[in-house]
Structure 1
Amino acid sequence: MEMRHLRYFVALADCLSFTRAAERVHVTQSTLSHQIKQLEDELGQPLFERIGKKVVTTEAGELLRSFASRALKEVDQGVALLKPGAGNLTGRVRIGATHTFNIGLIPECVAQFLARHPTVRISVEELAAEVIAARLAAGELDLGISYRPQDPTGLWFEPLYNEEMVLVVSTGHPLAGRKRIRMVELHRQDLVLVSSSFSTRTMLDECFHACGAEPTVVAEMSTVAPMLALVARTMIGSIVAINAVPEAMAGLKVIPLESPTPVRTPGILWRLGESKPAAVQSFAVILRKTALSNSLRREGPG
């Protein structure tokens, strides 16, 4: 099936006249008839019937018509946006992001996006993962940046990359000289972690249980920044996503974890079955490229 088949089909379904449809798509009636026959043969059922001198759509033709019209409209809009002189994107992009991604990823993406599309308006809300899911489902956000929700009903999760979680300690901590550390070695170590209401904490608790370690959780916090500030001032360690540790923050040492290595998968949350405005799709393109680039930079060569 080719795009021209759909264009010819929609023209005939709209006009219900081979003469007018052929004029609309600038082909001869015989060419139009031949192309419609090709499409019907490929689908295995008739799309039109002749009743006397009139042409009507079959049930199959009527079903296909709405989908084909919508698909052609979106393709034409996309092509128009790529043409020189087509003008800037307009509209609004409503984003919900968890704290981790609001630290660096979202500001970087918004800066790139507004440099290319200054007439689009961006709104970003820092929300808990479950709130992002609920707001998306309610149509109050266009996309979310979070980890995979526990209840994805009505949503589609698009993975961006895999992200290791690491131990972070101050440069004066007894473990600061280690290149790697097994999770079992954190048994009875003082840690500050995210609160038990977060799915990340559930995953970390499962990792500790699997290796038989019981760290001493001396503090719980809901955001990463104060956790890292506490780590920098004390002999208390923390476990956070590697991308949440600012490269410029002094006084911290990042140590990879193993046996097991805690891994999270950040991604984009979308509503299922909904067409996305051009501005939202454009932002998603920048988000994908920036997230992947940042993750590769963190991993380093090899």
Structure 2
Amino acid sequence: MEIRHLKLIREVAETKSLTKAKDSLFLSQSALSHQLKEIENQLGTQLFHRVNKQLILTNAGKMVLESAERILEDLERTELSIKKYVSGSTGTLRLATQCYTCYHWLPSLMTDFKKEFPNVEIEIFHNNAADVEDQILDGNIDLAIIYDSSDRANISYHDLFRDEMYALVPLDHPWTKKPYVVAEDFEDQNVIIHSYPLESVTLFSQVLAPAGIKPKKIMQVQVTEAVLEMVRAGMGINVMAKWIIEPYLKDESLALVPVTKRGIHRTWQAITMEDEHSPQYLQNFVQHLRCNISGLCSVN
């Protein structure tokens, strides 16, 4: 049986008439009569008794109606859910970011976003920076915030902002007397990084690797607060964006020093699957990112 057959059984059972059922099913009476015979021939039994010009369900008809109501209700519920999903009123947004230190902006962003889409849940995933674009293409996450992109097919790249990275050192560090540091200055330093591989670390990809410079020691520390304490204690230096470290500079025990005369910069992007039918909430989340992170507010 097909969906149209189930709808016919349900409507005829309710109206007890092909004449009345044709109005809601938008078919002629003869077409409905033909469909009913088709179903009964397929099942090998009558589904309706003809009693006083009314169609009354047989026991077999009642069995079919029970299944029809269950199946059609499930389909209607699914159709409604899909419409809500496409319109952006409900759903789940799976988010990942390439930078471990980027989550302090998330609470205020979620507050603004939830006012617009209260029924959209946000799930935060930890993903390796090297495979975040693959995760988008595989459908494991919906949106990622990155600063290293490879212009992959079937991915949409949305520019967010550009930042500059500085060397973070104790206030009494010799570098604070320099206008900027260069690659060779890192040769005798312990450098603290947030994550491997080194190819994904901006300091290494833009400054140290091109100059063939290796620091004295490399230490991986993923927690920003721990990095700050290690820098304060003189255990190493770290290179990070000014906007990330600014909230921690109030005690004046740390200082920022430019890296190279031209500085080192990153261009941040939000990436999503290239899909013209993506839900509205996904499109709006990108605008909320621009508003909350870069100050470029254009959310409709």
> Normalising to structure 1: TM-score of the pair?
0.59
Whether contact under 8 Å (2:101, 2:224) holds in the other structure is: no
User: Closer, same or farther in 2 for the Cα pair 1:206/1:248, shift >3 Å?
Assistant: closer
Q: What residue identity is the alignment partner of 2:292?
A: T
CA distance in 1, matches of 2:151, 2:283: 24
SS of equivalent residue, structure 1 residue 289? helix
Whether contact under 8 Å (1:183, 1:260) holds in the other structure is: no
1:139 aligned partner? 139
SS of equivalent residue, structure 1 residue 255? strand
The answer to whether 1:281 aligns with 2:283 is yes
1:265 aligned partner? 267
1:223 shift after superposition: 5.3
1:128 aligned partner? 128
Q: What residue identity is the alignment partner of 2:264?
A: P
1:238 aligned partner? 238
Instruction: Kindly report which structure 2 residues correspond to 1:1-302, keeping only aligned pairs within 5 A, or say none.
Output: 89-100=89-100, 102-150=102-150, 152-201=152-201, 204-211=204-211, 213-222=213-222, 224-249=224-249, 250=251, 251-293=253-295
Range that drifts further, 104-113 or 188-197 = 188-197
Unpaired runs of 5+ in structure 2? 1-82
User: Closer, same or farther in 2 for the Cα pair 1:171/1:264, shift >3 Å?
Assistant: same
> Deviations 1:15-62 (Å, cap 9, x if unpaired)?
xxxxxxxxxxxxxxxxxxxxxxxxxxxxxxxxxxxxxxxxxxxxxxxx
CA distance in 1, matches of 2:101, 2:238: 18
1:48 aligned partner? none
> Deviations 1:76-96 (Å, cap 9, x if unpaired)?
x9xxx8xxxxxx933322212
CA distance in 2, matches of 1:93, 1:139: 11
Whether contact under 8 Å (1:231, 1:237) holds in the other structure is: yes
Q: What residue identity is the alignment partner of 2:295?
A: S
CA distance in 2, matches of 1:131, 1:107: 26
1:49 aligned partner? none
Q: What residue identity is the alignment partner of 1:219?
A: M
Range that drifts further, 205-214 or 281-290 = 205-214
Whether contact under 8 Å (1:224, 1:240) holds in the other structure is: no
SS of equivalent residue, structure 1 residue 245? helix
1:55 aligned partner? none
> Deviations 1:137-189 (Å, cap 9, x if unpaired)?
12122211112334734323222122211100122323235453334333323
Q: What residue identity is the alignment partner of 1:280?
A: L
> Deviations 1:112-139 (Å, cap 9, x if unpaired)?
2123332322222232223432221121
1:102 shift after superposition: 3.5
SS of equivalent residue, structure 2 residue 248? coil
CA distance in 2, matches of 1:199, 1:224: 20
Report how many aligned residue pairs link the two structures: 209
1:108 shift after superposition: 2.7
Unpaired runs of 5+ in structure 1? 1-76, 82-87, 295-302
Whether contact under 8 Å (2:143, 2:271) holds in the other structure is: yes
1:101 shift after superposition: 5.5
Whether contact under 8 Å (1:194, 1:223) holds in the other structure is: yes
Whether contact under 8 Å (2:189, 2:215) holds in the other structure is: yes
CA distance in 2, matches of 1:225, 1:199: 24
CA distance in 2, matches of 1:149, 1:265: 9
User: Identity rate of aligned residues, in percent?
Assistant: 19
Whether contact under 8 Å (1:227, 1:238) holds in the other structure is: yes
Q: What residue identity is the alignment partner of 1:129?
A: A
RMSD, matched Cα? 3.0
CA distance in 1, matches of 2:224, 2:101: 11
Whether contact under 8 Å (2:148, 2:200) holds in the other structure is: no
User: Closer, same or farther in 2 for the Cα pair 1:122/1:214, shift >3 Å?
Assistant: closer
User: Closer, same or farther in 2 for the Cα pair 1:190/1:261, shift >3 Å?
Assistant: same
User: Closer, same or farther in 2 for the Cα pair 1:246/1:206, shift >3 Å?
Assistant: closer
